Amino acid sequence: MNKTIPLKVPAHGLTVTQASDVTKSKMTLNVDAVVVGSGAGGAIAAYELAKAGKKVVVLEAGPYVPSEKFTEMLAISMATLYQDHGGQSNSAGDITILQGACVGGSTVVNAALCFRTPDYYLNLWAKEFGLTNLTPDVMLPYFEKVEANLQIKENERYETSPGAELINQGIQKLGLPPGYAKRNVKNCGLTGHCFAGCVSDRKQSMLVTYLPWAVAYGASIYSDTRATKVITKGGKAAGIEAQIIDPATKTKKCDLTVNAPIVVLAAGPVQTSGILMNSQVANSSGQVGKNFACHPTMSLTAEFSEEVDDFHGATHSLYMDKYILPEEGGYLLLNAVQDPVEASFQAEPGTGKPYMSYMSKYRNTIRLITLIHDKNVGEVIWKNGVKEIKYFVDNEDFEIMKAGLKTNARVLFAAGAKRIYIPTSQKLIIESVDKIDAVIDGLKNEPARYRYTSFHPQGTCRMGADPKKTVVSPTGETHDVKNLYVADASLLPTSIGYNPSETVYALAHYISDHINRVHA
């Protein structure tokens, strides 16, 4: 599979129909395919279907924000580019579940980190879920294709942040294997502002790659457009009902009907499951919304005696995955540049003088993330348009988190840390390496006690061969409704322990190829 990109693509900007462009209270579009969501899966599906000659429309609930309007200030970006203004969380409120809500989806606000799906999971899915079609040999050319198209490659040494250099020293002092991050970035500006959007268009997000390519092949994009229902006729998908919402007033501006014999849902695990529930389709298994996982993370913040200034360089420079597979531990360590806004809520410094004292040492701090391979124990519930992400960290998973935190803390102390802050609701500090076990062993799995973050919602429309236990077939089509496809992280049968973006990219290409074969 060779890289194939249309020749006539604007150097910058994207043609999008926004709520401000709409003057009618009702509209109907007749197309060959409608794609709901413009992120990792939706953008690729739109591109592949349009390239095959189909008339395609993409519906995105979020706004269109061109990169020149990115501020590189996380607090502002949260309000403009993220789902629920960055406030999406589980029902207990202790896990912030970050998800992009803009044209380009989460690819606009992620850190560009990419991993191929390990063969371990492809083999596991074949054995446990009947996905014998997704073998390592079959998936390899899809990984190679997206890596070429998105310029996914290992960081150069000069891209490493100052904090990552220290962490690397700690990893190697402990005899652990360092892993060097691969990212979808072209000539990175090394500003460390990935989570706020890339103002220079160097991050190869869907906003500057597959969406412009899809438009060049004739696809249309509608932002501010919330899909509400899948239209079906005779057991087949027939289109989407949607509402165009004025982002300023939050009121409905237009009822939109898109008639299309092919429907692709790629709105993300929370929203895709919600559309299916609202439509009351594709759920004979009772599994829509079930099997939610999200890779909960805790960031340990280490304070050093000297200034580190870990706020420039690649957002992610390195990782340590010796213990990533479930039988080996089930956790990943990952460095990350920390924005001052993030630094202010990752630990519990108190208020007033204690808070100011903590933040005055921001230049002396770095963080190291512990990410766990969690069980699919959660559920997304939608009632009357209101969602609940019912997910609590499993007790066994919490023990994995504690094991990861111990390794994390040892790496940071080996790197020269003076003290380490644990992200708890009450201040908790590890003062020395000999206190690590005692402090972390004392942690108990209690809701609302820790400050978790998740960037990786997965599951809710599990893919598999058995229609009684899964929602989507091995080729991405729902078991119950023909020509209704899912192409996002909802598909993943299990948590995969690594950032899932490249997995979604590859699956979206695979599913799109299938659609084009069936609907040639």
Q: What is the pLDDT of residues 149-170, one digit of tens each?
A: 999 999 998 999 999 999 999 9
Q: Of all residues in the chain, what percent carry a pLDDT higher than 90?
A: 86
Residue 359 phi, psi (nearest 5): -70, -25
Tokens for 460?
A: 């809710």
Q: What is the pLDDT of residue 129?
A: 98
Specify the CATH number for the domain of residue 76. Answer: 3.50.50.60
Q: Identify whether 470 is part of a domain.
A: no
- Cα separation, 16 vs 198, whole angstroms: 19
Q: Identify whether 437 is part of a domain.
A: yes
Same domain, 334 and 483: no
Confidence tier at 371 by pLDDT (50, 70, 90): very high
Cβ atoms 284, 467 nearer than 8 A: yes
8-state DSSP, 229? E
Same domain, 218 and 346: no
Tokens for 208?
A: 């500057």
Same domain, 245 and 205: yes
Same domain, 365 and 402: yes
Specify the CATH number for the domain of residue 319. Answer: 3.30.410
Strand duo 262-265 + 33-36: pairing: parallel
Average pLDDT over residues 231-260: 97
pLDDT tens digits, residue range 20-69? 999 999 999 999 999 999 999 999 999 999 999 999 999 999 999 999 99
Q: What is the pLDDT of residue 6?
A: 58
Q: Count CA within 13 A, CB hemisphere, residue 463.
A: 29
What is the signed CA dihedral for 239, 244, 250, 251, rounded to 10 degrees?
Answer: -100
Q: Identify whether 469 is part of a domain.
A: no
Q: Identify whether 92 is part of a domain.
A: no
pLDDT tens digits, residue range 73-100? 888 898 999 999 989 999 989 999 999 9
Q: Identify whether 342 is part of a domain.
A: yes
- Cα separation, 428 vs 422, whole angstroms: 6
Furthest-apart CA atoms within the chain: distance in Å? 69
Element housing 274 (H / E): helix 269-279
Give CB contacts under 8 A, 24+ apart, made by 320-326. Answer: 320/171, 320/176, 320/177, 320/178, 320/179, 320/407, 320/411, 321/177, 321/179, 321/498, 322/176, 322/177, 323/403, 323/404, 323/407, 324/373, 324/497, 324/498, 325/118, 325/120, 325/373, 325/497, 326/373, 326/497
Q: Identify whether 3 is part of a domain.
A: no
Beta-carbon count within 10 A of 307 CB: 12
Q: Of all residues in the chain, what percent carry a pLDDT higher than 70?
A: 99
Return mean pLDDT, the chain: 94
Q: What is the pLDDT of residue 342?
A: 78
Same domain, 55 and 69: yes
Helices (H), 26-135: 40-51, 74-81, 119-129
What is the signed CA dihedral for 439, 444, 449, 453, rounded to 10 degrees?
Answer: 80
pLDDT tens digits, residue range 311-364? 889 999 999 999 999 999 999 999 999 888 778 877 877 889 988 988 899 999
Number of helical H runs and strand E runs in the chain: 12, 23
Domain closes at, from 446, 466, 490:
446
Same domain, 222 and 361: no
Confidence tier at 1 by pLDDT (50, 70, 90): very low
Cβ atoms 378, 338 nearer than 8 A: no
CA distances 445 to 209, 373, 397, 448, Å, are 42, 16, 10, 9
* Helices 501-518 & 40-51 angle (0-180, nearest 10): 30
Domain count, the chain: 2
Same domain, 105 and 40: yes
Same domain, 58 and 178: no
Cβ atoms 346, 365 nearer than 8 A: no
- For residue 425, give the amino acid letter: S
| Domain assignment of residue 433, given as a range | 154-185+297-373+393-446
- For residue 352, give the amino acid letter: G
Confidence tier at 7 by pLDDT (50, 70, 90): low
Same domain, 317 and 264: no
Same domain, 174 and 220: no
Same domain, 304 and 179: yes
> Could you tell me if residue 53 is left (phi over 0), alpha (psi between -120 and 50 degrees) or otherwise beta?
left
Cβ atoms 406, 412 nearer than 8 A: no
Same domain, 406 and 439: yes
- Using alpha carbons, select from 34, 130, 55, 471 the residue that is nearest to residue 284: 471
- Cα separation, 437 vs 50, whole angstroms: 56
Q: Count CA within 13 A, CB hemisphere, residue 494.
A: 22
Q: Identify whether 90 is part of a domain.
A: no
Q: What is the pLDDT of residue 2?
A: 43
Residue 170 phi, psi (nearest 5): -65, -40
Cβ atoms 490, 460 nearer than 8 A: yes
- Cα separation, 179 vs 322, whole angstroms: 9
Element housing 355 (H / E): helix 353-359
Cβ atoms 29, 242 nearer than 8 A: no
The yes-or-no verdict on residue 291 having pLDDT over 80 is yes
Q: Identify whether 181 is part of a domain.
A: yes
pLDDT tens digits, residue range 426-456? 889 999 999 999 999 999 999 889 999 999 9
Residue 265 phi, psi (nearest 5): -95, 120
